[in-house]
Amino acid sequence: MPLFDKKDKSRYATFSRRSLAVGGGMALVFAVLGGRLYQLQIRDGDEYMTEAEDNRINERLLAPPRGRIFDRFGVELANNRRNYRVLLVAEQATDGVEEALDTIGEVIQLSDVQKKRVITELAQNKKFVPVPVAENLTWEEFSRINMHLPYLPGVQPDVGETRDYPYGPEMVHVLGYVASVSEQELAHDDDPLMSLPGMRIGKRGIEKEFDKQLRGRAGASRVEVNAYGRVIRELGKDPGVPGQDVWISLDGELQRFVDQRLGGESAACVVMDAANGDVLALSSTPGFDPNWFNVGVTGPQWRELATSDYKPLLNKAIAGTYPPGSTFKTAMALAAVDNGMDDLVVDCTGSIRLGDHTFYCDAWRIGGHGHVNLTRGIQVSCDICFYEVARRLGIDKMAEAAHALGLGSPTGIELPGELGGLIPTRAWKMARFGVPWQQGETLVSGIGQGYVLATPLQLCTLAARLATGKAVSPRLTHQVGAALQSYPLAAPLPFSDKAFAMVRQGMGMAVNAPGGTAYGSRILQPGFEMAGKTGTAQVRRITREERQSGLTPQSELPWAQREHALFIAFAPLDNPRYAVSIVLEHGGNAHTEPQVQFARDILTFAQKRDTLGKPTAYPIKEAALSAGGAVR
């Protein structure tokens, strides 16, 4: 065979093999592509269509309006108001972000801190995302922004909602406040609302206790976006479910009067319905404006709150613990009567000795009170009388009586942060310090000093229980949304009628009989008279040398070394309806008894206003009674 024929056949065979390989490869590629197309368009088409739709349409959460808080008469204590604010879109700021902020600063006041915050947030977000520059503008400021809008490229005026507290500092320790979500709170709450920019939640008080109910359920806005995430149009909107409203037992006007009457003092006052425990006023002064935390606390504001000796951030009414002083003698008198000391008479000479220690009475300067029984012991607040009561009772029986009257443990009021105070026992001291209880400690505890501690709320509960003879417990909430709150009926206390009668007689004499410790500040209007018990609590030890050389008047001591001044009372005298307690920090003044004057004015105002005689705005009907609620 010719040579060229062999070469042609070889080339042809090679070409055929290559063509077959290329064709097979192409067929394989087309088969893979076809299979992939079948998978994408037919088998998994619905799934990818959904994903594509999700890329085109975004659902954005919307915060619903927060529920409101009302007082017993339907007055709004916390609500929502319009929030006039200014937003800035970086990509529309043609002259640059810093120049835009400087221009805005010529129209409304902007601090350097605000400008730095805006620049930081703009850098963290896409250029088309609006970032808040200033919030809670006045109408005048908002109007100026709108008037200059043609000269403010990138600026967007906006109207939203923000929390508002009409009573300001006067309600802060009951209502609390809302503020931004912390990282820790975000990690422990799976509510999608928590991740919303600018979301605010309850931090204290009622706002925190019922935050989830007040918060509501998130809504959603369906918007169409382009490939860069920029909104093209809104397709639909679900506003969500607004937060539930909360009705509480406070009387806003009485609360305001109490707060203003205490003025700038470092003090706490609680007023209760003596029959069922409704808290009508709960004040801790000084307070602070809760709206600061809503819009952001400045550095100077925070330093002022954190460093003040008057502790405005502390709710003294539920978390301030103080020696109850002579107010505790009422509890000791109840226990004394039911332990066979109803006819006790003590000869007060001004002091007694126990071992090598001398215990003094306030009347030591004049040689004592003379012969004193239990009712007069309450009237003149004789320490020697109650040293003897304490010695005979012993610390464990004293503790049993105190616990029955609501001392030594939290009351359970619907506010976070309540403390329980302390009623010591032998077992407590051994567990706490590893040493036995001493008889001298029993005597000191009998007049409400030593380890004994109580909150103003507990002392008001004590006053209500003394007035009614029932285990009245404080309560603050009556309705959350459509749900009525149910409370058990108060049970009788484990003390005899005779014991209550003697203690009430002594408290009545302390205020309304000459020689009583509160006689100078009694209520003179007939039918409004109060019964009460004064108390002072030492915050430093007074040496024998000081007593011999003459005590320094309280008014001349540094503020932090003055005694606390306390008072518990109920009114009217014959048919108690209101109970009150007052603790005036470092306010001791034996001559003027300012805490008694405060109580006198507060109880007079409450009775004249007839808070408990007015119909309430929340529905307490058969539904509450059938659920086991207390009769109103």
527 to 281, 497, 608: CA distances (angstroms): 22, 23, 11
Give me Rg for the CA atoms of the chain: 36
CB atoms within 10 A of CB 201: 22
Identity of the residue numbered 505: Q
225 DSSP β-pair partners:
231
How many angstroms separate the first and last alpha carbons of the chain?
A: 125
Q: How far apart, in whole angstroms, are the C-alpha atoms of residue 412 and residue 14?
A: 96
Q: How far apart, in whole angstroms, are the C-alpha atoms of residue 71 and residue 249?
A: 6
- The yes-or-no answer on residue 10 being catalytic is no
Q: Of the candidates 495, 437, 429, 461, which has an alpha carbon nearest to the alpha carbon of residue 327?
A: 461
* Contacts with 177 (C-beta within 8 Å, 6 or more apart), sequence order: 163, 165, 202, 203, 204, 205, 207, 290, 291, 293, 294
285 in the Ramachandran plot: left (φ > 0), alpha (ψ -120 to 50) or beta?
beta
Among 284, 326, 381, 521, the active-site one is 326
Question: Rounded to 10 degrees, what is the CA torsion of 316, 317, 320, 323?
Answer: 130
Q: Which two tokens stand for residue 25?
A: 């490869």
**Degrees (nearest 5) of the Cα angle 266, 269, 274?**
170
The secondary structure of residue 576, as a DSSP letter, is -
The DSSP string of 320-332 is: --B--GGGGHHHH
Q: Are 200 and 293 in contact (CB under 8 A)?
A: no
Q: Which two tokens stand for residue 346?
A: 């003590």
- Coil, helix or strand at residue 230: coil
**Beta-sheet strands, E only, within 228-277:** 231-238, 246-248, 267-273
Q: How far apart, in whole angstroms, are the C-alpha atoms of residue 569 and residue 493?
A: 19
Angle between helices 456-468 and 329-336 (to 10 degrees): 40
Note if the bond before 572 is cis, omega within 30 degrees: yes
Report, as residue numbers or ranges, the catalytic residues: 326
